[in-house]
Structures are given as structure tokens and as C-alpha cells.
């Protein structure tokens, strides 16, 4: 009874150690350096936006001199005053909007890259689960064949089969062992690739759940009208340039007020000043407006190209996904018939001596070839699926 309870406890513990795809993605969003960088940039850009809207610091101006005019009186003179620059409220608003849109565009670019990373992780998760499935299948086949070989080895000792037949079986057993080692190495490599992509030590003790892999379906419905993050980023940059138009349209973008006290040898003065840049005397604003206009047009063309390219890629990938689904279904159907119908007949014929060892071995190899083909078709399907998700910029 204690042994049963111990085994149940161990089983529950092992199950609890499994990590699901959603848990991995959640850890990515919380702990990955890129996710932390996005949060840090958001905080930095928020502070930058507040800094732009704040007033410039008051400037203190002082100077002193020693004067000795032609008159008999001589001495020190000094001046002390303050100066404050004020940005035209409309211009400041335009500058703030332009900076905010540019910052939003940068954040969208970072989120776009992070989304691609998440899709890479989803793909590697599925590939590792497929490698684990391949190991289970090949191990089952290997153990079954190993059991058969042991029986045939005894049969050879009793003179029931030839040495040639036993040698054929032994060579096939070694080949199967090599295939099993190959898939074990494949599983290890895909697991290391997944850990490397996440950049986090979250796989040390946990095993992948593999109970949440995506279903293989022929067609998927997506909202392709919604803009991608890259398109949204370009929209933000275009809005930033539009904000600059308002900035360069103003007659003046700033003015400066000053007040000073001047103590001269025989005079004390209070001075008040106003300084306004005369923008009409320079072509700077006009040329800057032209720069913004041309950049805006370039970004609009870039967005148009991106939209057309995205639409074309979506259509192509959807077609490839459908083809991959059909290939997977065909491989699964052939393998099912081979395993459940043909192979039992061949095994029975071999056991009864109706078929030779070579016929049996070739049939086994063909069945394993179909298993390998099915695994590869699944991998191809998921590669296309997550590439499609990356183009659509949605996760599922």
C-alpha cells in the first residue's frame, strides 16, 4: 500500500513539473530581456514626453566691470538679470505630439520583434514535442524488434532459422538503434534551441507538457483587415510628420522675456527686453516643411508596399498550409492502413514461414519510413503555420 501511495505521489509530482506553452510564453512576457527593455523604453519615453511639455529653466545673467571715464569719478559697474524663453504653445504641442508618435512607433517595432520571438518559441515547442513523439514511436518499434530478435536468436540455436536470416535481423536491429539515437539527439538539439531562444533557465527541471500543441487544420480564419504592427508603426511616423507641419507653419516658434538691473557709476537702470525670432527672414521653416512632406510621402509608399507584400505572403502561406495539411493527412492515412492492416498480415506470414525475412524487414523499413515522413510533414505544417502567424502578427 505504501508503495502504491509513493508511486502516486511521484506521478503527481512529475506531472506538476510539466511546463505548458502558455506558461513559457507568460514567462517570456515577464522575464525576457526584450520584454523588460520594452517596459523600460515605455517609461523612458513617457518621461521624455513630460520633459518636452515642461518649461525651460530660468536663465540668470550677470556681469561686472571696472570703469574709469574721463570724469574724476571711477569705480565698479555690474548688471544682474533673468531671462526666460517661452515656446509658442501651439509649437510646443506639435513638438510633443511629434515626439510621442515617434516613441510609439519605436515601441511598436520592439513589440513586433518580440512577437516574432514568441512565434519562434511556439514553433520550437512544437518541434520538440514532435521529436519526443518520434522517440516514443521508434523506441516502441525498437523494443518490439529487439524482442523478436531474441526469439529468433533462440530459434537459430535450435536450428530453426539460418545464420543469414539471423544476421539480417541483427543488422536491422543495429540500424533501428542508430535511428533511435538520431531522434534522441534531435530531441536534445530542439530542446537546447528552445532554451537558447528564451534566454531563461526555465527548462532545467521541467519537461514540456506537449498536451497543448495546436491542432492541424486545413483552413484558418483570420482578420486580415486589421493593420500589422509594422503598418501601425508607419502610421505613427506619418502622424509625427503631420504634427511637424503645424510647427513649421507658425510665424514665430518662441519668444524670450528678460529683466535686468544695471548699476553704473552714475546711473542705475532697470531694463526689460523682448526677443522674437523673425522666421520670415529665413527659409528654414519652408525647407523643413518640404522635408516633412517628402518623408510623409515616402512613408505612405512604404506602407503601401508593406500592405501589398503582406497580403501576397498571407495568400501564399495559406495555400502552403493547406497543402501541408493534405500531405499530413495522406501520410497519416497510409501509415494507419500499413500499421493496422498490411503489417499484421506480413508479420503473421513471416511467423508462419510464408514470407522471407527480407520481405518482413523491407516492410518494417517502409512502415518506419512512413512514420518518419509523417513527423516531417507535421514539422513542415507547423513551420508554415507560425510563419503565417508572424506575417499576420497574431499568436493564434
Mean pLDDT lowest for which of 10-14, 124-128, 280-284, 331-335?
10-14
Interatomic CA distance for residues 276 and 36, integer angstroms: 45
**Averaged pLDDT, 286-304:** 90
Q: What is the Cα Rg of the chain in Å? A: 38
The answer to whether residue 13 scores a pLDDT higher than 60 is no
The answer to whether domain 27-56+89-248+285-392 has CATH 1.20.1250.20 is: no
Alpha-carbon distances, residue 2 vs 5, 9, 315 (angstroms): 5, 10, 60
Residue 24 cell numbers, joined: 513559457
Orientation angle between helical segments 89-157 and 21-31, nearest 10 degrees: 140
Q: Read off the pLDDT of residues 46-90 as tens digits, 9 standing for 90 and up.
A: 998 888 888 877 888 888 777 776 656 677 777 888 888 888 878
| pLDDT for residue 12 | 41
Burial 273-307 (b: 16+ CB within 10 A, else e): eeeeeeeeeeeebeeeeeebeeebeebeeebeebe
CB 238, CB 299: distance < 8 Å:
yes
| pLDDT for residue 205 | 64
Helical H runs in 18-68? 21-31, 33-53
Ordered DSSP codes for 270-314: EEEEEE---GGG-SHHHHHHHHHHHHHHHHHHHHHHHHHHHHHHH
The answer to whether residue 395 scores a pLDDT higher than 50 is no
The answer to whether residue 195 scores a pLDDT higher than 80 is yes
Interatomic CA distance for residues 7 and 15, integer angstroms: 12
The answer to whether residue 186 scores a pLDDT higher than 50 is yes
Q: What φ, ψ does residue 273 adopt, rounded to 5°?
A: -130, 155
Sequence-distant (6+) residues with CB within 8 A of 239 are 97, 101
Q: Read off the pLDDT of residues 236-273 as tens digits, 9 standing for 90 and up.
A: 999 999 888 877 777 777 778 888 888 777 778 888 88
Q: Which of 284, 288, 252, 258 is nearest to 273 (CA)?
A: 258
Domain boundaries defined on the chain: 27-56+89-248+285-392
Task: Please count the residues of the chain.
Answer: 396
Q: Which of 350, 285, 302 is nearest to 145 (CA)?
A: 350
Q: Which of 104, 105, 108, 116 is nearest to 392 (CA)?
A: 116
Mean pLDDT lowest for which of 133-147, 226-240, 271-285?
271-285
Better-scored residue on pLDDT, 395 or 188: 188
Better-scored residue on pLDDT, 308 or 158: 308
Amino acid at each position: 500500500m505504501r508503495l502504491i501511495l509513493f508511486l502516486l505521489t511521484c506521478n503527481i509530482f512529475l506531472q506538476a513539473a510539466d511546463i505548458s506553452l502558455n506558461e513559457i510564453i507568460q514567462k517570456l512576457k515577464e522575464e525576457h530581456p526584450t520584454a523588460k527593455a520594452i517596459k523600460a523604453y515605455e517609461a523612458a519615453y513617457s518621461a521624455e514626453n513630460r520633459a518636452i511639455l515642461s518649461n525651460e529653466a530660468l536663465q540668470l545673467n550677470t556681469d561686472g566691470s571696472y570703469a574709469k571715464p574721463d570724469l574724476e569719478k571711477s569705480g565698479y559697474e555690474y548688471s544682474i538679470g533673468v531671462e526666460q524663453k517661452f515656446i509658442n504653445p501651439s509649437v510646443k504641442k506639435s513638438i510633443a505630439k511629434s515626439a510621442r508618435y515617434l516613441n510609439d512607433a519605436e515601441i511598436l517595432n520592439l513589440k513586433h520583434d518580440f512577437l516574432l520571438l514568441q512565434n519562434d518559441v511556439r514553433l520550437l515547442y512544437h518541434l520538440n514535442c514532435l521529436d519526443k513523439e518520434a522517440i516514443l514511436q521508434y523506441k516502441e518499434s525498437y523494443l518490439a524488434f529487439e524482442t523478436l530478435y531474441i526469439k529468433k536468436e533462440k530459434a537459430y540455436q535450435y536450428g530453426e532459422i539460418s545464420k543469414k536470416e539471423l544476421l539480417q535481423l541483427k543488422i536491422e536491429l543495429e540500424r533501428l538503434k542508430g535511428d533511435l539515437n538520431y531522434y534522441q539527439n534531435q530531441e536534445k538539439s530542439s530542446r537546447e534551441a528552445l532554451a537558447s531562444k528564451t534566454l531563461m533557465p526555465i527548462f532545467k527541471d521541467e519537461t514540456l507538457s506537449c498536451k497543448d500543441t495546436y491542432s492541424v487544420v486545413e483552413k484558418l480564419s483570420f482578420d486580415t483587415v486589421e493593420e500589422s504592427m509594422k503598418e501601425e508603426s508607419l502610421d505613427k511616423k506619418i502622424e509625427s510628420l503631420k504634427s511637424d507641419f503645424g510647427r513649421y507653419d507658425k510665424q514665430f516658434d518662441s519668444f524670450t522675456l528678460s529683466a535686468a538691473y544695471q548699476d553704473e557709476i552714475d546711473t542705475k537702470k532697470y531694463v526689460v527686453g523682448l526677443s522674437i525670432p523673425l522666421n520670415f527672414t529665413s527659409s528654414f521653416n519652408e525647407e523643413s516643411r518640404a522635408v516633412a512632406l517628402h518623408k510623409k510621402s515616402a512613408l505612405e509608399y512604404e506602407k503601401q508596399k508593406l500592405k501589398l507584400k503582406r497580403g501576397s505572403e498571407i495568400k501564399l502561406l495559406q495555400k502552403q498550409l493547406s497543402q501541408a495539411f493534405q500531405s499530413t493527412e495522406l501520410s497519416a492515412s497510409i501509415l494507419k492502413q500499413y500499421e493496422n492492416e498490411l503489417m499484421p498480415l506480413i508479420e503473421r506470414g513471416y511467423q508462419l514461414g510464408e514470407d522471407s525475412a527480407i520481405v518482413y524487414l523491407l516492410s518494417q523499413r517502409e512502415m518506419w519510413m512512413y512514420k518518419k515522413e509523417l513527423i516531417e510533414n507535421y514539422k513542415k505544417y507547423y513551420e508554415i503555420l507560425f510563419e503565417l502567424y508572424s506575417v499576420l502578427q497574431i499568436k493564434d
